[in-house]
């Protein structure tokens, strides 16, 4: 953990694009649409609690439709190519992973969650900012042969916190609607 820097460098192992399900905010989705022109129906999916581990049942971003819960995620797609060094036994990858190069096709417009991974904010018991470290419970190799400044990470974190508040408010409004024909995809109309 470091207040000013964290020892880390990405070696492009692909873990974050193959093993991690990205949950973008509406702000992320708008940025992706603006930068790619792609329709959200091409790059988003709505997952149920059975399809996703690690998100609490009481998370404020669960959409409620006809008694079921859904959460917005970047779509994961099956591999088309059999390039073993990229696959490493993984069956799916992020919609935006370029199978030929192993790099993100929307790197400059990628969700904030992707930009922050595998870093986590460290706070004191009183909630004061202490710095950043690396998540303990992720399988990223966490190479420590580089130096990452924490100031830009903190700015991203604060930006994400603001986007998350907007997201929570939109979900609350969506969930208050009582239409029996409501589908999770209808949520997109609230912010696009």
* pTM for this predicted structure: 0.90
- Examine residue 75 and state whether it is found in any structural domain, yes or no: yes
Number of domains in the chain: 1
- Examine residue 191 and state whether it is found in any structural domain, yes or no: no
Query: Which pLDDT tens digits describe the chain residue by residue (192 residues)?
Result: 678 999 999 988 888 998 889 999 999 999 999 999 999 999 999 999 999 988 999 999 999 998 899 999 999 998 886 655 555 557 889 999 998 888 999 999 999 999 999 999 999 999 899 999 998 877 888 899 999 999 999 999 999 999 999 999 999 999 997 777 899 999 999 999
- Examine residue 192 and state whether it is found in any structural domain, yes or no: no
Q: Provide the 3-class DSSP secondary structure of residue 53.
A: coil
- Examine residue 39 and state whether it is found in any structural domain, yes or no: yes
Q: Could you list the residue range(s) of the whole structural domain that residue 141 is in?
A: 5-186
Q: Provide the 3-class DSSP secondary structure of residue 2.
A: strand
List 73's β-bridge partners, or say none: 45
Cα separation values, 62 from 48, 115, 157, 169, 170, Å: 9, 23, 21, 12, 11
Output 82-85 pairs: Cβ under 8 A, ≥24 positions apart: none
- Examine residue 78 and state whether it is found in any structural domain, yes or no: yes
Q: Is the peptide bond before 118 cis (omega within 30 degrees of 0)?
A: yes
């Amino acid at each position: 953990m470091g207040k000013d820097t964290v020892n880390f460098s990405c070696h492009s192992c692909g873990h974050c694009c193959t093993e991690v399900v990205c949950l973008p905010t509406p702000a992320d989705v708008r940025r992706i649409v603006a930068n790619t022109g792609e329709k959200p129906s091409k790059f988003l999916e709505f997952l149920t609690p059975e399809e996703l581990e690690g998100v609490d049942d009481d998370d404020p971003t669960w959409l409620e439709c006809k008694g079921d819960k859904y959460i917005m995620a970047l779509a994961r797609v099956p591999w088309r190519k059999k390039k073993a060094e990229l696959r490493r036994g993984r069956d799916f990858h992020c919609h935006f992973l370029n199978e030929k190069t192993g790099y993100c096709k929307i790197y400059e417009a990628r969700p904030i969650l992707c930009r922050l991974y595998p870093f986590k904010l460290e706070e004191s018991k009183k909630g004061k900012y202490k710095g950043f470290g690396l998540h303990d419970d992720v399988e990223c190799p966490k190479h420590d042969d580089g130096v990452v400044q924490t100031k830009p990470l903190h700015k991203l974190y604060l930006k994400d916190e603001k986007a998350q508040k907007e997201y929570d408010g939109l979900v609350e409004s969506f969930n208050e609607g009582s239409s029996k024909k409501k589908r999770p995809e209808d949520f997109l109309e609230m912010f696009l």
